[in-house]
Copies of this chain bind each other. A is one copy, B any other.
Amino acid sequence: MTGLRARVRAELTAEIKAAARRQLAAEGANLSLRAIARELGMASSALYRYFASRDDLLTALILEAYEAMGEAAERAEATVARDDYAGRFSACCHAVRDWSLAHPTEYALLYGSPVPGYAAPEATIGPANRPVAVLGSVLRDAVAAGVIEVAPPPDPPELAADLARVLADPHFAGIGEAALLRGFHAWVQLYGAISFELFGRLDNVVTAQDAFFAGQVTAMTRYVLTG
C-alpha cells in the first residue's frame, strides 16, 4: 500500500509539472519557479523538495515532451498501410509538425537554441531519438521490401563510418549508408521547416503554411525513397 505521503508527493509533482507547462505556454520560455509556487499557493522553497533545481524541472518537462512527440509520430505512422512507405514517412512528418504546432513552447524547449548553462542529461538522449527512430523504421522496411535500391556508401570514409555506427543500432540496421544519409537530410529539413514556421521566420512571406509544409514533405519523401 503505497504510503499516503508517497501518493500526495506524486500528485504534487504532477501538479507542479502541469503548472509549469501552463506557465510555459502562457509566458514563453522563461519559466519562473516562484511563479509556479505562487500559482500553487506554496512557498518557493518547498518546490525544491520535488525538483532539485529549475533545470531539473525543465529536464522532466523535456523528457515528457520527447515522449509525447515520439508517441504522436508512432501512432500516426501505425495507421498507414505497411507497404505504403511514402505514406508512412509522410504521415510521420505531418504528425511531428502537428504535435509541434499544438505545443510550440515545448517544441522550442526541445529544438530551440540550447539554454546556456543547461546541458542535456544522459536520460534525454533516448527519448530524443524516438521521433527519428520512427522515420528510421520506415526506411528499414522499405529497404527490406526492395523499394529502396541499395547504393554504395557515400564519401568520404569518415562520414561512411559515422553512418555505419548508426546502422549498428537495431532500429536502423539494414537501411544502408546511402539511404540513411538521405534520411538524415530529410530529418534536418523537417526540423528546419517546423522551426521556421514556429519561430515566425516566414511570417509575411508564406501564409499558406499547410500547403508549403505539405509540398516540402512530398519532395523530401521522394528524395528519401528514390534518391
In chain A, positions 169-227 with a C-beta closer than 8 Å to chain B are: 181-182, 184-185, 188-193, 195-196, 199-202, 204-208, 211-212, 215-216, 219, 223
Among listed A3-11, A39-47, A111-119, A141-149, interface-contacting one: A111-119
Q: Does the CB pair B189–A219 fall under 8 Å?
A: no
Chain B residues near A30 (CB-CB < 8 A): 116
Contact A166 B205 (CB under 8 A): yes
In the assembly, what is the distance between CA of A211 and CA of B154, in Å? 10
Q: Which of B28, B159, B191, B207 contacts A195 (CB 8 A)?
A: B191
For the complex, is A83 an interface residue (Cβ under 8 Å from B)? no
Instruction: List the number of copies, as a whole number.
Output: 2
Residue contact B28 to A116, C-beta cutoff 8 Å: yes
* A15 interface hit (Cβ, 8 Å): no
**B-chain residues with CB within 8 Å of residue A116 when the two chains form the complex:** 27-30
> Which residues of A (91-113) have their CB < 8 Å from a CB of B?
108, 111-113
- Known A-B contacts A212-B184, A215-B181; the reply to A207 vs B162 at CB < 8 A is yes
* A158/B192 contact (C-beta < 8 A), A113-B29, A114-B199, A116-B29 known: no
| Total interface residues in chain A, CB < 8 Å | 48
A112 CB → nearest B CB, Å = 3
Tell me whether B205 and A188 are in contact (CB under 8 A). Answer: no
Sort A-B residue pairs by CB-CB distance and give the 5 closest, nearest first: A192-B192, A28-B116, A112-B113, A108-B113, A158-B208
Interface residues of A (CB under 8 A from B): 27-30, 108, 111-117, 125, 154-156, 158-159, 161-162, 166, 181-182, 184-185, 188-193, 195-196, 199-202, 204-208, 211-212, 215-216, 219, 223
Further pairs besides A158-B208, A184-B212, A189-B192: 6, Cβ < 8 Å? A29-B116, A113-B113, A154-B215, A156-B208, A156-B211, A181-B215
